[in-house]
């Protein structure tokens, strides 16, 4: 079994899987017996339970708090380890006060004072021992001591500290009396510290070590590690060679730390949405990307509230947010969620005192999967995708390769075998490549913003409009991340593998999106659909040859066949209805740019026609065939 990382700095941690609870008959009754439990060996010999053969006599300068890490003698009597209050009893009458020794808790130390870079969020870096004898560290926010301090005591209890219920006020008093000489910076989010020379994770700080993660919760950490980087490279990363979708997914996972470091963007990010048929490898791509930062359960679900995803994005700051199966999200809310994730700002909320609370901030790269596009999912609830949403979560066909999401199976017989092999590999080696990438990035003295600008200017990332340019810059960042990881000898790929995959993906995204702006495409599509639905019921021939014409209700206009094709003469209300809810000037701009207007009066976009003895202004449109 392998060493794992938690939000606490834990020494000699053993990963436990499949643990079976002890039954009453498990032990023979021998206190020194090692108890065998399925999946783990429990050693009852702990400093907290097993006294040494010759404990030393303690020297106490009363009154004081003192932490004894091992058993000791006091006035010839054996005392267990822990934090003690060594004081004096109250004198009664002429009697002298007597020594009073109160056990407060299991061993605990205050190592440093903490505060954030703004001088707020003060706390204490605590080091304490759990019943198994393992030492843990937690940067505890001091505001948890408010009131009775039960929130702080609860977190300590959850992580193995035991304390005297009748002396819990002494535990809080001890904390409030601690002023260690050492100061460290408290980071309240993961990712880059105040300067980009330190990268904070819940269980470790990469780079400058005088920064620690400080959280109200001491145990949760998604950034767990297992196996070796070499094994991950050989069994996961190298198998992605020749598979552009997988190469892109890994490059997305490496791109998070570059949002600030290379793109110099302080909040926000972007996302790639892999779409396609079910069981074709999309989730496998997400698991491969997740293995760079954590275990398979690093992959999250789209089935979450907006508030929940905000909290998750904040906890994954500067790394990766993999989200599986977009169809499980609420189609009415997903548009605003996409904006929030890519803009990097949580909702503004009021504090209990009536003021405004600081909203959450993050920088994140998202990798999403689903059977349909963002636009199709939003259409389910009658919503229309906006250009800003389309530019922030990029729809990319992900299962149109030779074997679903795969092109090269590296000796295996089928896509399913290849997928299973990758899933098995990512369950054995994970959480190592991301920290290694960050460590190398801190040491990298090259001009990262300049390199990013050069990558954006490559012809393969050039866009024809604002949305395409924004998407091109996202794919350029992804390409840069993959190439940097290759340069750092993390991926094992050939130079140019990540760049080619990102350029191909940009072209695939552009082909799927279609030409023109999002609004123009929506307007033209809406007019086509309107004519397909209502061509016979709401239009009639402008100069009918048949004297008995069918009646038309809610008339939208007329039609006339010409040598170049049928022309539809829309009245203004009909064209506005057909234009997918857009304003009339935007509709006219779209049909003008598409070359659909075939008749007009002077500089106007309408044409005055005589209908049933009356002259009315109509819009003469001949629809071009859509591109295949």
4 vs 431: CA distance, rounded Å: 10
Claim to verify: residue 422 and residue 312 sit in the same structural domain: yes
62 vs 90, higher pLDDT = 62
271 vs 391: CA distance, rounded Å: 9
Decide if 243 is inside a domain: yes
Decide if 37 is inside a domain: no
Is 345 exposed, middle or buried (CB count within 10 Å of its CB: 0-12, 13-18, 19+)? middle
pLDDT of 29:
37
Q: What is the pLDDT of residues 348-404, one digit of tens each?
A: 665 555 544 566 789 999 999 999 888 888 877 777 777 788 889 999 999 999 999
Claim to verify: residue 131 and residue 183 sit in the same structural domain: yes
Give the least confident one: 27-36, 200-209, 391-400, 473-482.
Answer: 27-36
428 vs 232: CA distance, rounded Å: 8
pLDDT average, residue stretch 564-585: 88
| Model confidence at 136: pLDDT above 80 | yes
pLDDT of 364:
95
Q: What is the pLDDT of residues 219-278, one digit of tens each?
A: 557 899 999 999 999 999 999 999 999 999 999 999 999 999 999 999 999 999 999 988
DSSP string covering 113-132: EEE-TTS-S-EEEEEEE-TT
In the chain, % helix, strand, coil (3-state, to 5) comes to: 35, 25, 45
Claim to verify: residue 190 and residue 249 sit in the same structural domain: no
Claim to verify: residue 416 and residue 544 sit in the same structural domain: no
| Model confidence at 2: pLDDT above 50 | no
Domain that holds residue 548: 518-621
Of the chain, the percentage scoring pLDDT greater than 90 comes to 52
Alpha helices in 100-204 (DSSP H): 150-158, 168-176
Claim to verify: residue 177 and residue 254 sit in the same structural domain: no
Decide if 582 is inside a domain: yes
Claim to verify: residue 413 and residue 269 sit in the same structural domain: yes
- Number of structural domains (the chain) is 3
Give the least confident one: 30-34, 95-99, 513-517, 608-612.
Answer: 30-34
Instruction: Identify each DSSP E strand in 529-606 by its residue range.
Output: 539-541, 557-562, 565-570, 597-599
| Model confidence at 436: pLDDT above 90 | yes
Decide if 191 is inside a domain: yes
159 vs 137: CA distance, rounded Å: 10
Among residues 213, 242, 264, which one ends one of the domains?
213
pLDDT average, residue stretch 34-58: 58
CATH at residue 348? 3.40.50
pLDDT of 1:
35
Q: Report strand pairing: 557-562 vs 64-68.
A: unpaired
pLDDT of 358:
61
Among residues 446, 470, 495, which one ends one of the domains?
446
CB atoms within 10 A of CB 459: 6
**Residue 123 β-bridge partners:** 114, 141
Claim to verify: residue 429 and residue 552 sit in the same structural domain: no
pLDDT of 40:
39
pLDDT average, residue stretch 167-189: 91
Claim to verify: residue 345 and residue 428 sit in the same structural domain: yes
Task: Report the length, in residues, of the chain.
Answer: 628
State which of 165-169, 230-234, 468-472 shows the largest mean pLDDT: 230-234
Give Cα separations from 290 to 30, 190, 285, 316, 360 (angstroms). 45, 16, 9, 11, 23
Question: Using an 8 Å Cβ cutoff, are 249 and 271 in contact?
Answer: no
623 vs 154: CA distance, rounded Å: 69
User: What three-state secondary structure class fits 278?
Assistant: coil
* 198 DSSP 8-state letter: E
Mean confidence (pLDDT) of the chain: 85
Decide if 461 is inside a domain: no
Q: Which residues are CB-neighbours of 411 under 8 A, at least 6 positions away?
A: none
Instruction: Provide the pLDDT confidence category of residue 346 given band limits of 50, 70 and 90.
Output: confident
| Model confidence at 618: pLDDT above 90 | yes
Of the chain, the percentage scoring pLDDT greater than 70 comes to 87
Give Cα separations from 444 to 196, 436, 487 (angstroms). 11, 12, 11
Claim to verify: residue 589 and residue 555 sit in the same structural domain: yes
pLDDT average, residue stretch 147-153: 90
pLDDT of 247:
98
Decide if 478 is inside a domain: no
Q: Which two tokens stand for residue 366?
A: 């998202």
Closest CA to 475 of 374, 365, 562: 365
Claim to verify: residue 265 and residue 355 sit in the same structural domain: yes
42 vs 136: CA distance, rounded Å: 18
Among residues 446, 481, 508, which one ends one of the domains?
446
pLDDT of 25:
33
Claim to verify: residue 141 and residue 182 sit in the same structural domain: yes
Q: Report strand pairing: 99-105 vs 82-88.
A: antiparallel
430 vs 225: CA distance, rounded Å: 6
Decide if 453 is inside a domain: no
Measure CA 467 to chain center. Answer: 23
pLDDT of 228:
97
Claim to verify: residue 434 and residue 545 sit in the same structural domain: no
Give the least confident one: 108-122, 318-332, 344-358, 479-493.
Answer: 344-358
23 vs 332: CA distance, rounded Å: 51
| Model confidence at 13: pLDDT above 60 | no
35 vs 501, higher pLDDT = 501
Question: Using an 8 Å Cβ cutoff, are 522 and 386 in contact?
Answer: no
Instruction: Provide the pLDDT confidence category of residue 515 given band limits of 50, 70 and 90.
Output: low
399 vs 603: CA distance, rounded Å: 48
Q: Which residues are CB-neighbours of 310 under 8 A, at least 6 positions away?
A: 340, 346, 347, 360
pLDDT of 132:
85
> What's this model's pTM, rounded to 2 decimal places?
0.74
Decide if 58 is inside a domain: no
| Model confidence at 21: pLDDT above 50 | no
383 vs 603, higher pLDDT = 603
């Amino acid at each position: 079994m392998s060493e794992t990382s938690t939000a606490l700095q834990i020494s000699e941690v053993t990963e436990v899987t499949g643990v079976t609870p002890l039954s009453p008959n498990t032990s023979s009754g021998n206190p020194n017996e090692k108890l065998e439990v399925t999946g783990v060996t429990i050693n009852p010999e702990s400093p907290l339970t097993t006294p040494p053969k010759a404990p030393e006599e303690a020297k106490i300068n009363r009154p004081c708090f003192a932490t004894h890490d091992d058993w000791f003698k006091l006035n010839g009597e054996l005392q267990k380890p822990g934090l003690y209050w060594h004081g004096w009893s109250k004198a009664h009458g002429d009697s002298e006060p007597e020594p009073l020794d109160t056990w407060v808790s299991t061993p605990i130390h205050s190592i440093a004072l903490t505060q954030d870079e703004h001088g707020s969020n003060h706390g204490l870096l605590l080091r304490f021992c759990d019943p198994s004898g393992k030492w843990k560290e937690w940067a505890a926010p001091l505001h948890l001591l408010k009131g009775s301090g039960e929130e702080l005591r609860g977190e300590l209890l959850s992580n193995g500290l035991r304390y005297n219920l009748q002396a819990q006020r002494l535990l809080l008093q001890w904390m409030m009396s601690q002023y260690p000489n050492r100061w460290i910076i408290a980071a309240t989010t993961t990712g880059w510290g105040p300067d980009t020379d330190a990268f904070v994770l819940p269980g470790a700080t990469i780079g400058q070590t005088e920064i620690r993660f400080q959280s109200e919760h001491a145990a949760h950490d998604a950034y767990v590690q297992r196996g070796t980087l070499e094994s991950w490279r050989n069994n996961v990363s190298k198998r992605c060679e020749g598979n552009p979708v997988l190469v892109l997914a890994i490059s997305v996972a490496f791109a998070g730390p570059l949002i600030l470091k290379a793109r110099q963007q302080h909040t926000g990010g972007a996302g790639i949405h892999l779409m396609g048929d079910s069981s074709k490898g999309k989730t496998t791509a997400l698991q491969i990307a997740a293995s760079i930062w954590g275990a398979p359960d690093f992959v999250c679900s789209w089935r979450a509230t907006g508030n929940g995803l905000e909290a998750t994005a904040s906890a994954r700051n500067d790394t990766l947010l993999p989200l599986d199966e977009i169809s499980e999200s609420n189609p009415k809310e997903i548009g605003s969620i996409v904006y929030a994730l890519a803009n990097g700002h949580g909702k503004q909320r009021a504090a209990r005192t009536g003021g405004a609370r600081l909203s959450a901030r993050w920088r994140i790269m998202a990798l999403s999967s689903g059977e349909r596009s963002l636009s199709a999912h939003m259409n389910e609830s009658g919503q229309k995708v906006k250009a800003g949403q389309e530019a922030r979560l990029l729809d990319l066909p992900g299962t149109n390769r030779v074997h679903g999401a795969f092109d090269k199976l590296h000796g295996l017989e089928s896509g399913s075998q290849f997928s299973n092999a990758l899933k098995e590999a990512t369950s054995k080696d994970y959480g190592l490549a991301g920290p290694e990438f960050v460590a190398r990035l801190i040491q990298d003295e090259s001009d990262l913003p300049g390199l990013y600008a050069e990558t954006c200017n490559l012809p393969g990332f050039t866009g024809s409009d604002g949305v395409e340019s924004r998407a091109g810059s996202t794919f350029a960042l992804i390409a840069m991340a993959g190439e940097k990881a290759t340069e750092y000898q993390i991926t094992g790929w050939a130079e140019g593998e990540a760049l080619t995959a990102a350029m191909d993906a940009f072209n695939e995204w552009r082909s799927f999106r279609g030409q023109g702006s999002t609004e123009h495409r929506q307007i033209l599509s809406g007019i086509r659909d309107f004519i397909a639905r209502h061509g016979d019921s709401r239009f009639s021939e402008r100069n009918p040859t048949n004297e008995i014409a069918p009646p038309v209700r809610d008339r939208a206009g007329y039609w006339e066949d010409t040598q170049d094709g049928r022309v539809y003469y829309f009245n203004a209300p009909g064209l506005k209805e057909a234009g997918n809810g857009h304003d009339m000037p935007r509709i006219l701009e779209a049909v003008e740019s598409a070359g659909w207007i075939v008749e007009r009066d002077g500089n106007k976009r309408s044409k005055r026609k005589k209908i049933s003895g009356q002259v009315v202004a109509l819009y003469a449109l001949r629809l071009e065939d859509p591109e295949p």
